[in-house]
Amino acid sequence: MQVEEKYMIRCLELAQSGRSSVAPNPMVGAVIVHKGQIIGEGFHRQYGGAHAEFHAIHAVQDETLLRDSTLYVNLEPCAHEGKTPPCTGLILQKQIPRVVVGSLDPFPQVAGRGVRILRDVGVDVVTDVMKQEAMALNRFFMTAQTKQRPYIILKWAQSQDGYIDRCRQDASEKPVQFSTPATRRHVHKLRSEVSAIMVGTHTAWMDNPSLTVRHWSGNSPVRVFPDRTLRIPPTYHLLDGSVGTLVLVEGSRFKVQGSRFKVSGSEFKGQGSKSPFEGGRGMSSGHDSRCIMPSPLLKGAEECQASEFQCFGLKNHENIEYIAIDFSRPVIPQMLHALYERKLYSLLVEGGARLHQHFLDFGLWDEVHIETAPIKLGNGVKAPTGNFTKTADIQKDIVLSAESFQMQEPAVISVYICNNL
């Protein structure tokens, strides 16, 4: 192992300490080395707070040593004035002569500029040390900056014979339980690491899920679901206001009023914009009067154009935001753009089969997690299908031992990862 890799590994370890608190910012760790000894280290602790380089530099007790030291950092030092001063300025001020960087920052206001500023004044800058590992750590941030969409994780549980549930007639019938305590903790850990979580309308209606983090420590993600005609009852968990929630509604039928709510340091500011799972479906005739009112405010230029629909105004309220979209066009791209605008850079899609299949068919996924339980259903709702083994760059199986006397075999979670960065 080279010396640069040794200290970059430490940077990556430090960076992960900010995993639950820095989004939508990237995770960054920094180490300062003087003659083979670490004299300062730090990490980005909080969104809007000081960066890793600041903490590492101010951890050094004798600042005169900085003029003969090397700064290691897993992401290119910032070169712009944001919520904090640029790190390049601090590095130059402290006269640090050498900087080793894991990966460049694709954020448009940085994007190599930090490295150029340092090199232009004579700082020795080494880049791309453990680049793949550095980019993988911040794959949510990297994907958002390069693709202008969230990093997408598809997750479902299925039987050994490829079914995700029995065929149920209504919401009074409970879904098949595939998860064990171990796999449930794994899924809730995954929930705690993403910014947003999504289900389709049918899954929301039939399962009444909470989509919160309960079997792991961490924050619950923002919940997202389409409800074209406000079919989901206000008594359902998704509308309890306990967690930030985005509801996708028919733009030709509803007009949204009120401001966005705030989550994870980012402010939601209005309607979503430019999405395929419910487009073209018929609409139900009912509507929920809890937050709808006749729309005298929508006369003139704002009047609904769809003659077959009556217009209603929807009011956003605490922790719930309605996003008006065009269901005659593909819905998923519109939804992804709305999440990107709100700086929600990672999305976990938990069902159902039709929603998952649309993401797969459109090639909109970065990871797929398939939990296979050691049971067979014989018939029911078929699991989504895709050529994961050919598409994915990384494949691995997570084997979780049985914790219930009902399970004679361990559950397996197969993970497929596309390296799209």
What are 286-327's pLDDT values in tens digits?
A: 333 333 322 222 222 233 333 333 445 666 777 899 999 999
Q: Average the pLDDT over each of 62-66, 164-168, 264-268, 331-335 and give the range with the smallest value.
A: 264-268
Identify residue 404 by its one-letter amino acid code.
S
Q: Retrieve residue 264's tokens.
A: 């994870």
- Contact call for residues 260 and 334 (beta carbons, < 8 A): no
Q: Which residues are part of the catalytic machinery?
A: 53
Secondary structure (DSSP) of 287-348: --TTSEEE-GGG-GGGS---TTS--EEEE-BTTEEEEEE-TTS-HHHHHHHHHHHTT--EEE
Chain CA centroid to CA 284, Å: 31
Q: Average the pLDDT over each of 233-237, 368-372, 416-420 and give the range with the smallest value.
A: 416-420
Secondary structure (DSSP) of 230-262: --S-TTSGGGSSSS-EEEEEETTTEEEESPPPE
- Give CA–CA dist 112/77, Å, rounded: 9
Q: What is the pLDDT of residue 320?
A: 92
- Contact call for residues 139 and 103 (beta carbons, < 8 A): no
Backbone φ and ψ for 223, nearest 5 degrees, come out as: -90, 140
- Give CA–CA dist 376/364, Å, rounded: 29
Write down the residue that tokens 């299908």 correspond to: 385
Q: Measuring CA to CA, which residue among 69, 119, 67, 121 is closest to residue 94?
A: 67
Q: Measuring CA to CA, which residue among 414, 396, 264 is closest to residue 343?
A: 264
Percent residues over pLDDT 90 in the chain: 68
Q: What is the pLDDT of residue 255?
A: 67
Average pLDDT over residues 219-225: 96
Average pLDDT over residues 344-365: 95
- Give CA–CA dist 23/109, Å, rounded: 18
Residue 181 in this model has a pLDDT that exceeds 50:
yes
What are 24-41's pLDDT values in tens digits?
A: 999 999 999 999 999 999
Average pLDDT over residues 264-270: 38
Average pLDDT over residues 182-195: 93
Average pLDDT over residues 366-376: 94
Residue 277 in this model has a pLDDT that exceeds 50:
no
Percent residues over pLDDT 70 in the chain: 83
Q: What's the Cα-to-Cα distance from 41 to each of 61, 91, 114, 239, 358, rounded to whole Å?
A: 11, 14, 20, 43, 45
Four-residue CA torsion sign, 101, 106, 109, 111: positive
- Give CA–CA dist 115/96, Å, rounded: 13
